């Protein structure tokens, strides 16, 4: 007789409600292997907390550990430098205005005025309220703070308080100033970890600690509320509703710390194996009396001796020497380092060879494949930084510069100027520039790539290139120098040896040599 708990589908309707539910549920029951609590996964504890609940408990520790690694761990420091170098670059983001007149033609005069004043504002002593940072320094500090701390606060100082003719300067604040313990309600708004949001989760204000909580003088802290329009709170959003940023090293902190401990242990083992020492035994069993070694001539200096390289001593009668020679071959060190650093590279969007300075197993194909994938990620980070930081700074600067009258243009055309502004991030030179140039030349000839795109890939604008070429031609003309262009006969495959052989007399494949 069939068990009542294994009812056929056609008889399930005649069973009791509890039996019916059980009968329908059992055939549809499925298990995810990753959700099982077996002996292999028993220690894998994971809670379904919200992103803010997790950050509220862990963010101060994560940020402190990330900073400690960036200060003391060479690999972490290299990751930080690599991130800033690839996102910001040596020149930073270039701002170009492409404002047009009503007739659709480019307004060269207005564009030149705006770009000149932007460069003037970005010089050292003007861009930051402290006077220590240029616009390029501000960009580097912004990206470094986001990578190391997970977030950064930038306050707009406006009007006469800015201390420059444009009425606008930047003040950087460490994320610690945004009090993580500040929670509550202000009317219909809610405060979570110092961030005040409206009913839709949009930040409307920030509750900032006046003093850094890590300062010893920070006692009886007070807050000030800053409107969201005068603060940039930048971080990468990874979960819906997330209010604070996560350090970039978070997924790699444990690996980097364990790697540092392993290397320390290897150093100690190496030092121990290099230190040869030994012990002297008394064959008669007499115990060495340290208290009487200065009084007893027979014990003075004869029982414990200092050893020097190349010295052979004769031991006293009844004494025996037993050497201590620890051995350590260091096998497996590099394999362990490679495994750890490859995981760290994956967790921090960096390539192994770039952060480990290891090119032993790298060839042209592998490094090209790895670099292209990494550069796509860097380009995405550039787009994020332009939207989160550069464009907001430019728009705020332009509004105040026009209001203060330091830029001699019409305030009524402010929006037109903002719409005509565009930032350009850094580009990269390839490891084989000849082939890269030939490929660009061919693609431009086939009309599949523009000169603007080619210049942008190198982090420049076509206008910059054209201005430089025009200035060079004008300079050479003034000195009476003419450029002689060689006819290369079109692009080649880059193999100079083959080209040389082809150009030799009698090398025509259609004619005998």
User: In this structure, is residue 122 part of a structural domain?
Assistant: yes
Give the number of domains in the chain: 3
Is the distance from CB of 286 to CB of 103 less than 8 angstroms? no
Pair (228, 150) in one structural domain: yes
Note whether 101 and 242 are same-domain residues.
yes
Strands 421-424 and 223-227: unpaired
Q: Could you give the residue ranges of the DSSP H alpha helices within 189-348? A: 253-274, 333-348
3-state helix, strand, coil in the chain (%, to 5): 45, 10, 40
Inter-CA distances, 199 with 53, 182, 188, Å? 19, 18, 7
The pLDDT score that the predictor gives to residue 309 is 60
Q: Are residues 227 and 281 in the same domain?
A: no
**Average pLDDT value for residue range 297-324:** 59
300 and 202, same structural domain?
no
Q: What is the pLDDT of residue 496?
A: 44
Final residue before a domain boundary, out of 292, 325, 358 = 325
Residue 14 falls inside a structural domain: no
Closest CA to 233 of 286, 179, 270, 287: 179
How many Cα atoms are found within 13 Å in the side-chain-facing hemisphere of 406? Answer: 18
A 10 A CB-CB count for 248 gives 22
Do both 282 and 237 map to the same domain? no
3-state secondary structure of 208: strand
- 201 and 283 part of one domain: no
pLDDT given for residue 324 in this prediction? 65
CB 493 within 8 A of CB 501: no
pLDDT at 93: 96
Q: For residue 91, is it within any domain?
A: no
- Host H or E run for residue 28: helix 17-28
Domain final position from 212, 230, 248: 248
Pairing of strands 231-234, 223-227: unpaired
Q: Structural domain of residue 165, as residue ranges?
A: 96-248
- Mean pLDDT on 488-495: 47
Residue 513 located in a structural domain: no
- Of 304, 325, 346, the last residue of a domain is 325
Q: Are residues 205 and 118 in the same domain?
A: yes
What's the whole-number mean pLDDT along residues 24-46? 69
Band (pLDDT 50/70/90 cuts) for residue 502 is very low
Domain membership of residue 383 (yes or no) is no
Number of residues written out for the chain? 513
Shared domain for 298 and 215, answered yes or no, is no
Residue 13's pLDDT band (boundaries 50, 70, 90)?
low
Residue-wise pLDDT tens digits, 207-241: 999 988 888 765 667 889 999 999 999 999 999 99
What integer pLDDT is reported at residue 491 of this predicted model? 46
Which pLDDT band, with edges at 50, 70 and 90, does 292 fall under?
low
CB-neighbour burial class of residue 139 (10 A; exposed 0-12, middle 13-18, buried 19+): buried
In this structure, are 106 and 232 located in the same domain? yes
101 and 160 co-located in one domain: yes
Stretch 334-353: mean pLDDT, rounded? 82
Q: Which are the contacts of 202, defined by CB distance < 8 A and separation ≥ 6?
A: 228
The alpha-carbon radius of gyration of the chain (Å, integer) is: 35
Q: What is the pLDDT of residue 330?
A: 65
Give the start-end residues of each E strand in 328-439.
421-424
- Asked whether 355 and 343 are in contact (CB, 8 A), the reply is no
Mean pLDDT of 20-34: 59
Would you say 282 and 247 are in contact if contact means Cβ atoms under 8 Å apart?
A: no
Q: What are phi and psi of 500, to 5 degrees?
A: -65, -40
In a domain, 330, yes or no: no
Give yes or no for residue 56 having a pLDDT over 70: yes
- The winner for highest mean pLDDT among 6-15, 31-40, 90-99 is 90-99
Q: Report the pLDDT value the prediction gives residue 218, as an integer from 0 to 100.
A: 54
- Find where tokens 């945004």 sit: 178
pLDDT tier, 70 (very low <50, low <70, confident <90, very high otherwise): very high
Output the six-digit token pair for 483: 């450029």
Whether 38 is covered by a domain: the verdict is: no
pLDDT in tens, 368-422: 777 778 888 899 999 999 999 999 999 999 999 999 999 999 999 999 999 999 9
> Cβ of 285: how many Cβ atoms within 10 Å?
7
Residue 299's pLDDT band (cuts 50, 70, 90): very low
pLDDT digits (tens, 9 = 90+) for 162-205: 999 999 999 999 999 999 999 999 999 999 999 999 999 999 99
One domain, residues 206 and 146: yes
Is the model more confident about 387 or about 22?
387
Same domain for 241 and 292, yes or no, is no
**pLDDT value, residue 21:** 58
Per-residue pLDDT band for 509 (boundaries 50, 70, 90) equals very low
Predicted confidence at residue 16, as pLDDT, reads 65
Q: What is the mean pLDDT of the chain?
A: 81
Average pLDDT over residues 87-97: 94
Smallest CA-to-CA distance from 408 within 193, 165, 174 is with 165
The answer as to whether 423 is a domain residue is no
């Amino acid at each position: 007789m069939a068990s009542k708990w294994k009812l056929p589908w056609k008889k399930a309707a005649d069973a009791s409600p509890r039996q019916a539910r059980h009968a329908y549920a059992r055939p549809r029951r499925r298990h995810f292997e990753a959700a099982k609590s077996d002996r292999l996964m028993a220690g894998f504890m994971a809670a379904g907390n919200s992103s803010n609940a997790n950050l509220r408990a862990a963010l101060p520790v994560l940020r402190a550990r990330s900073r400690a690694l960036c200060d003391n761990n060479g690999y972490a420091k290299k990751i930080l430098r690599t991130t800033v170098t690839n996102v910001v670059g040596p020149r930073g983001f270039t701002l170009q205005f492409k404002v047009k007149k009503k007739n659709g033609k480019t307004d060269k005069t207005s564009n030149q005025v705006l770009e000149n004043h932007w460069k003037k504002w970005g010089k050292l002593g003007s861009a930051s309220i402290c006077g220590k940072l240029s616009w390029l320094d501000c960009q580097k500090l912004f990206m470094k703070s986001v990578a190391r701390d997970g977030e950064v606060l930038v306050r707009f100082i406006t009007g006469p308080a800015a201390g420059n003719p444009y009425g606008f300067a930047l003040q950087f604040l460490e994320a610690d100033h945004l009090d993580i313990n500040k929670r509550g309600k202000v009317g219909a708004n809610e405060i979570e970890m110092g961030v005040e949001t409206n009913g839709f989760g949009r930040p409307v204000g920030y509750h900032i600690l006046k003093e850094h909580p890590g300062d010893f003088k920070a006692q009886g802290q007070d807050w000030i509320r800053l409107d969201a329009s005068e603060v940039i709170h930048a971080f990468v959003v990874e979960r819906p509703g997330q209010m604070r940023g996560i350090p970039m090293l978070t997924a790699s902190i444990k690996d980097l710390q364990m790697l540092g401990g392993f290397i320390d242990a290897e150093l100690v083992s190496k030092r121990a194996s290099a230190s040869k020492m030994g012990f002297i035994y008394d064959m008669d069993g007499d115990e060495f009396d340290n208290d009487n070694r200065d009084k007893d001539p027979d014990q003075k200096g004869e029982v414990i001796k200092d050893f020097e390289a190349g010295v052979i001593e004769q031991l006293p009668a009844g004494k025996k020497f037993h050497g201590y020679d620890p051995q350590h071959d260091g096998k497996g060190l590099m394999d362990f380092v490679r495994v750890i650093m490859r995981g760290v590279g994956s967790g921090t969007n960096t390539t192994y060879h770039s952060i480990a300075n290891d090119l032993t197993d790298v060839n042209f194909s592998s490094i090209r494949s790895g670099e292209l994938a990494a550069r796509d990620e860097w380009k995405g980070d550039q787009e994020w930084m332009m939207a989160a930081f550069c464009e907001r700074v430019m728009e705020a600067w332009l509004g105040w510069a026009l209001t203060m009258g330091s830029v001699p243009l019409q305030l009524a055309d402010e929006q037109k100027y903002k719409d005509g502004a565009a930032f350009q991030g850094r580009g990269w030179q390839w490891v084989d520039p000849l082939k890269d140039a030939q490929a660009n030349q061919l693609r431009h000839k086939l009309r599949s790539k523009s000169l603007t795109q080619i210049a942008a890939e190198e982090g420049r604008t076509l206008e910059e290139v054209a201005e430089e070429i025009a200035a060079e031609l004008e300079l050479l003309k003034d000195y009476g120098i003419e450029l002689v262009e060689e006819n290369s006969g079109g692009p080649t495959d880059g193999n100079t040896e083959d080209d040389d052989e082809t150009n030799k007399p009698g090398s025509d494949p259609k004619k005998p040599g």
